Structure 1
Amino acid sequence: MNKEPEPSFLSRVTGRIRNTVRNVRNRYHSIVWVHFWLTLSRCITGFMLYPYLVIYMTEQLGASAVAAAGAISFPSFIALFFKLWAGNLSDRFGRRPVLLFAPLMQFCVLIGMIFATEVWHFYVLLTLNGLSFNLFLPAEYAQIADVVPEEKRTEAYSLNNIAINIGASIGPLLGIAAYQLNPTLIFGAEAMVALFTVAMVYVKIPETLPRTDAASTVQTKQSVLLGLASHWPLYLLILLTVPIYMVEMQMNSTLPLYLKEHFVDYLLVYGVLRTVTGVLTAVLQMPVTLWSERWKSTHVIFAGYLLLVGYGLIYGFAPFFWVLLIAEFFWAMSDMLLAPRLKKVVSIMAEPRVRARYFSLFDINLSLGKMTAPVLGSVVLVSYGGQVLFGGLAALLLLTGLFQLLLISRILAVKSSGRPETPEVAG
């Protein structure tokens, strides 16, 4: 009797890889995967563009460093007010219309950047680009919460974070090549990605806005801005996360100028540092998320703040290449811990019919960081140096991390006790 030949080692390995890929794919809703690929493509071109905008405007348009940084900060000032009602569009009219309109608007803006010749053009175009971005993200995060059960949301947002950091690892190096060849290629690449996003949303993403009864729908439409008195934990959570984005915005604005003081090939050093961070997060995000699931959210978030304190101290007081690699590891670990867990906390706090508004308002922390960090960072860097800039940020992060620990402990204690922290919708 002939025995069937045993599969070869290569066949066994290939089969295991196939099964692993199938299990991972089936673990998450198809909409989560669509957003993963859209985020990945958007972030590759985004990280090609934004780190070099200050350099582009100073070298190609003759702008001062402060004026160029202002072009990045000004849109965040406008977005700060726009976000007060941006999430309401998605909660009121649905996720899908917003997810279609926002990238179409972005495509038109990016085509305009190709032909921009004055700094004020970028003030206008970057503002419009920011508005489209701030429409898209709350709808995206709310849609993920719509289709993913609470116990898996940290993983789903971690997958989204992996896409962001793959983009962060690939984008800067591609940006260097594109910038040296022809800087306007970067604008064209991101415009094509925006058009691709429109097509993917149209084909692959259905509406997921939860159905509500007529009374709650009317109440929701009347409540554009969530009241401070009723929803104060959200607003305090926003305020305490601003320093995180102040650090992140230094990476995208003043950090290349800071590295220029210490390295001859500063653009290459910057690209390598950003790539290391992106690769670490892309590889370790899901293992770190699954490992940290056993920890309380308060412990995870406070640990993330402490890692950021270490990042600031190293950059301020030890700006040597190999030590900066350790700082980038601190940043990557912090991002892996903080980003998914904070999004999960927001999704738990929000009632389904105000979910997009919660994410839109929570995203104000990014606007505040963008609005303050580039200009303040450039002024402090020029006037007082990197020690004061990054050391001051480290001290601020330590203080806000302690307050954040107390706040999230209270939020989760109230939720676990079953008592409503706030009315479902407040005018």
Structure 2
Amino acid sequence: MKSHLRGIHPLAWTIILGTLFGRLVSSMSIPFLSIYLVRHLGASTTQTGMTIAVSSLAGVLVSFYGGYISDIIGRKKVMLFSIFGWASVFVAFSGSTVLWMFFVVNTLNGLCRALFEPTSRALLSDITSPDKKLLIFNLRYAAINIGVVFGPLVGAQLGSTENTFPFLLGGIVYVLYGLVLIFQFSRNRDTLPVPERVEAPRLREAMAITGRDPVFLPVLLGTVFCVLGYAHFGSTMSQYLVLSPHFTNGGKLFSYMLSLNAVIVLVVQFPLVRSTRNLPPVVPLMIGNLCICGSMLMFGAAQGVALLMAGVVVFTVGEVLIFTMMDMLIDRIAKPQWKGTYFGTIGFNGFGYVLAPVMGGMMLDQFGAGSGPALFIPLAITTALGLPLLWLAHRRLMAREAAEAKEEQPCDTIAG
């Protein structure tokens, strides 16, 4: 294990550690934004849902372009531009006072995230040898969850549901992250690989590359529904807990649920990855989808804290199976010269993040928070719509790899 860790590129460590601290400060503030808007700005749950959703909508609209442009002009330029833009966004959050300001700033938040995230993941793929990619993607995911273990607890202590000061701390951390990236890019410029590229096509042609991929397309559509179910935990759940008559001090309870979610990720992530790594790569996503559906039913039935926390455990197992294996799946099916494009295009599954707060907010406005089953059973059903699409992707991937193996076999025989 130590030899594997020593072989990790310094820039990869920078991204992993930057992800940890970035997610720490963002989870101090962003998850509580919906509660703040409802409590202190008097926004309705529908208005709040739209304000939260606009970040994901903006991200979806440019996520493909973020990965695509990094294939053309380079990872460094895109990452540095977006990270300092992100820092400015968090400072702007801290100075916002009315609903429209939060709407605008959260739009910019989504744009910066959509530029940085696929580009940083593509860079991790570029600078990591094939035998270490599963380790790297899992270290990045572990870093996310270490940050989320402590972020909500710190945010609750700083009064994130009552003020915007934690956003200012986030801006400072992202500035520091950007400065470290500048240093590491400069220090390691001679060791960075130059990815193989074909002549840069127009954006429409680049979209067609992924759109014509018979495996990638159902993966993309199926994970929209996975993300939809996952996103309700961070949007609909927080508002439900604050408004539900079954729970007191919903904001603090939500912070405990977020931290438990992150702790469970750290406990089960590597055992789950080891136990499922030999499965066909789409199968863990299907199991994860079923777990998230089951957790929704548990949340809806909960009348107390115990069943809520049990639901968090089931939800977290599903989350781990989906998100730890998704990067490896995309890396496996992507054309080598278009990895940034594939990682950017999978960002279109962020439509799930767009739909979740709007759907949840409208349902809460319509039916209220008095009946958990009336809210969460429809959410579970919509999440399950991803299963047939993922099954189709599984069948097509198995057929493609069997055909490729058959084509290679005569060559191996001749060589022998």
TM-score tier, shorter chain, comes to 0.7 to 0.9
Amino acid at match of 1:121: M
Q: Match for 1:353 among 337, 357, 361?
A: 337
Are 1:257 and 2:239 matched, yes or no? yes
Alignment partner, residue 184 of structure 1 = 164
C-alpha displacement of 1:319: 4.1
Structure 1 unmatched ranges of 5 or more: 1-19, 421-427
3-state SS of the aligned residue for 1:418? helix
Matches within 5 A, 1:39-50: 39-50=19-30
**Identity percentage of aligned residues:** 23
Distance 1:404 1:269 in 2: 34
Distance 2:211 2:119 in 1: 25
Q: Match for 1:84 among 64, 73, 86?
A: 64
Distance 2:377 2:105 in 1: 33
Alignment partner, residue 414 of structure 2 = none
Alignment partner, residue 259 of structure 2 = 275
Alignment partner, residue 401 of structure 1 = 387
Alignment partner, residue 105 of structure 1 = 85
Once the two structures are superposed, residues 127-166 of structure 1 have per-residue CA deviations (whole angstroms, 9 ceiling, x without a partner) of: 1111111000111111111122344323321111111111
* Contact 1:249-1:369 within 8 A present in 2 as well: yes
Are 1:199 and 2:179 matched, yes or no? yes
C-alpha displacement of 1:24: 5.8
Matches within 5 A, 1:234-249: 234-249=216-231
Q: Match for 1:125 among 100, 105, 108?
A: 105
Once the two structures are superposed, residues 306-338 of structure 1 have per-residue CA deviations (whole angstroms, 9 ceiling, x without a partner) of: 211211110112343112222111122112222
Distance 1:88 1:268 in 2: 40
* Contact 1:277-1:329 within 8 A present in 2 as well: yes
Distance 1:34 1:228, change over 3 A: closer
Distance 1:229 1:171, change over 3 A: closer
Matches within 5 A, 1:69-80: 69-80=49-60
Q: Match for 2:274 among 257, 275, 290?
A: 290
Distance 1:327 1:412, change over 3 A: same
* Contact 2:23-2:147 within 8 A present in 1 as well: yes
Alignment partner, residue 62 of structure 1 = 42
Structure 2 unmatched ranges of 5 or more: 407-416
Amino acid at match of 1:166: I
Distance 1:150 1:402 in 2: 30
Q: Which moved more, 1:323-332 or 1:226-235?
A: 226-235
3-state SS of the aligned residue for 1:217? coil
Distance 1:182 1:269, change over 3 A: closer
Amino acid at match of 1:271: S
* Contact 1:92-1:220 within 8 A present in 2 as well: no
**Paired residues, what number?**
397
Amino acid at match of 1:99: M
Once the two structures are superposed, residues 397-424 of structure 1 have per-residue CA deviations (whole angstroms, 9 ceiling, x without a partner) of: 334224302312312431453289xxxx
Amino acid at match of 2:42: G
Q: Match for 1:391 among 370, 377, 394?
A: 377
Matches within 5 A, 1:296-335: 296-335=280-319
Distance 2:336 2:401 in 1: 15
Matches within 5 A, 1:146-185: 146-179=126-159, 183-185=163-165
Distance 2:229 2:252 in 1: 21
Matches within 5 A, 1:334-345: 334-345=318-329
Q: Which moved more, 1:377-386 or 1:308-317?
A: 377-386
3-state SS of the aligned residue for 2:215? helix
* Contact 2:49-2:360 within 8 A present in 1 as well: no
C-alpha displacement of 1:182: 6.4
C-alpha displacement of 1:198: 0.6
* Contact 2:211-2:217 within 8 A present in 1 as well: no
> How high is the TM-score relative to the length of structure 1?
0.86
